[in-house]
């Protein structure tokens, strides 16, 4: 009887403890870069001013909504650019800190993004298949 109770305890602990979730809230952007064929073609180091935020909202057990807002000014005299994009992603965990994001929008459902979630940073790396550009964004977890 003790053995059965012990096995039930282990199985239920694994089911609930193994379930990871992305943090929910608004996180400031830290860095970004665009790479092609392993070489950086554009990054936050090459702009006059950059500000971005990522807002994560839980929609269901495995789906999160990401709202990314970006404000960018390449030089002190150039026109500032801003954009906001909202996407829903299915989250698939590969390990305690690594996972894959699958966009729910039909036009992007073949593209995959990978993420790394650390205690102070959340990094997302996406391959833009049409251009072959790899976009990496890092946000501070506060």
- CATH of span 21-140: 2.40.128.20
Domain ranges of the chain: 21-140
Which residues, 6+ apart, have CB-to-CB distance to 33 below 8 Å? Answer: 40, 42, 43, 44, 135, 136
Q: pLDDT band at 131, cuts 50/70/90?
A: confident
pLDDT tier, 124 (very low <50, low <70, confident <90, very high otherwise) = very high
User: For tokens 């990496």, what's the residue?
Assistant: 136
Pairing, β 25-36 against β 133-140? antiparallel
Q: What is the DSSP string of 23-61?
A: --EEEEEEEEEEEETTEEEEEGGGSSEEEEEEEEEE-SS
Per-residue pLDDT, averaged over 17-30, amounts to: 87
The pLDDT of 89-96, averaged and rounded, is 95
Q: What is the pLDDT confidence band of residue 109, given thresholds at 50, 70 and 90?
A: confident
- Residue 120 CB partners (closer than 8 Å, separation 6+): 140, 141
- What is residue 18's predicted lDDT score, i.e. its pLDDT? 53
Closest Cα partner for 113 from 121, 104, 96? 104
Token digits of residue 65: 């909504």
Cα-Cα-Cα-Cα dihedral sign, residues 136, 139, 140, 142 = negative
Asked if residue 69 has pLDDT above 50, the reply is: yes
């Amino acid at each position: 009887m003790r053995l059965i109770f012990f096995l039930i305890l282990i199985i239920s602990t694994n089911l609930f403890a193994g379930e990871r979730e992305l943090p929910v809230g608004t996180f400031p952007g830290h860095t970004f870069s665009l790479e092609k064929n392993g070489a950086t073609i554009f990054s936050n180091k090459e702009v006059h001013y950059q500000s971005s935020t990522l807002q994560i909202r839980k929609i269901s057990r495995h789906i999160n909504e990401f709202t990314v807002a970006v404000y960018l000014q390449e030089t002190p005299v150039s026109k500032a650019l801003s954009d906001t994009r909202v996407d829903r992603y299915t989250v698939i965990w590969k390990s305690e800190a690594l996972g894959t994001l699958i966009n729910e929008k039909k036009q992007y459902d073949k593209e995959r993004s990978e993420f790394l979630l650390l205690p102070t940073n959340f990094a997302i790396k996406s391959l833009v298949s049409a251009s072959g550009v790899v976009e990496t964004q890092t946000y501070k977890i506060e």
